[in-house]
Amino acid sequence: MSKAIGKDNIYREITDKIIAELEHGLVPWVQPWAASHQLCPLGLPVNGLTRRSYSGINILLLWSALEEKGFGLPYWLTFQQCVAMGGSVRKGEKGTHVYFADKFVPQKEQQRAKDEGTDPSSIHFLKRYTVFNAEQCDGLPVGLFGKIEPREPREIVPEAEALIEATGADFGIGGDQAFYVPSEDFIRIPHQTAYPDQINYYRTAFHELGHWTGHRTRLDRSLTTKFGTVDYAREELVAELATAFVCASLGIVPTVRHADYLGQWLQVLKEDARAIVKAASLASKACDFILQFRAASKDNSDLEQAA
């Protein structure tokens, strides 16, 4: 069931939840990977009926629910979807809220536009839905939600290597710093052997590629910000979330958290209740931009393995 609510209220509701976790030292877009009960990465949360991945702020909210409630499956269903699949939500189970943007044109506005021969203006609002994890349901089709097999530990992840190459980004390796230079549109990160936990090389790579998507020739975000400013913290938040989303999609489990910007993130979220929702939306777009190269990267990876 969905419920339309005021945008300001819902932005504050979402933001207050994120702030509470940050103030407790928890980073909701990283925390599920460090959970002791998880034997493997769960990837992006998915609707169990449509099989579509959730996006934007809903990823963070559902990841947080996974950690809080100890679920081992990334599949979510509304009450009606569960029933439609022949199942039922167990008595006493509490759902998790997700949010979707929608719009409508009031009848008066439709008439005004018709009389004046202009385009009608839409009113935008947010809908709140309640979803349940597949583990909160009984009677679902047997074998529909299988356990995810854990990735074998290794230093090189061929799929990630192929994806980085397929983006065509000017990607240099070496030195002792990681950065993206918008004016010259290139990335530099340290060699993988410089990382105590080498899997974090990929986290850094996709973080910088997250910034790379914001170039004016791509998603055109404002990248001309100075270190220590609020706008700088906003862009770092977008890149941080995009990294989390891409790594989850690839099944990569980093072991580090970037606590350097924690204070700045808290400042941004407390001053602007919409900041986390906007950042998550921009991060999903950045993630999608990077993952669009996945088909080409898979072809390259298959060719390399065949060779």
237 and 280 co-located in one domain: yes
201 and 269 co-located in one domain: yes
107 and 184 co-located in one domain: no
Q: Tell me if 163 is assigned to some domain.
A: yes
Under 8 Å between Cβ of 71 and 133? yes
**Structure-token match 């099944």, residue found:** 251
202 and 296 co-located in one domain: yes
Question: Which contacts qualify for 170-178: CB closer than 8 Å, 24 or more apart?
Answer: 171/205, 178/204, 178/207, 178/208
Q: Tell me if 296 is assigned to some domain.
A: yes
Query: What's the length of the chain?
Result: 307
Q: Tell me if 147 is assigned to some domain.
A: no
Counting the structural domains of the chain, the total is 2
170 and 291 co-located in one domain: yes
Query: How big is the CA angle at 57 (ends 71 and 277), to the nearest 5 degrees?
Result: 155
Tell me which amino acid residue 204 is: T
Q: Tell me if 277 is assigned to some domain.
A: yes
Expressed as residue numbers, the domain containing 289 is: 158-306
Under 8 Å between Cβ of 170 and 130? no
pTM: 0.77
SS3 assignment, position 188: strand
Under 8 Å between Cβ of 290 and 160? no
Q: What is the pLDDT of residues 180-221, one digit of tens each?
A: 999 999 999 988 888 888 899 999 999 999 999 999 999 999
Under 8 Å between Cβ of 76 and 132? yes
- pLDDT > 90 fraction of the chain, expressed in percent and rounded: 45
124 and 178 co-located in one domain: no
171 and 251 co-located in one domain: yes
Residue 177 in tokens: 């710093």
162 and 298 co-located in one domain: yes
167 and 133 co-located in one domain: no
Per-residue pLDDT band at 35 (split at 50, 70, 90)? very low
Q: Tell me if 153 is assigned to some domain.
A: no
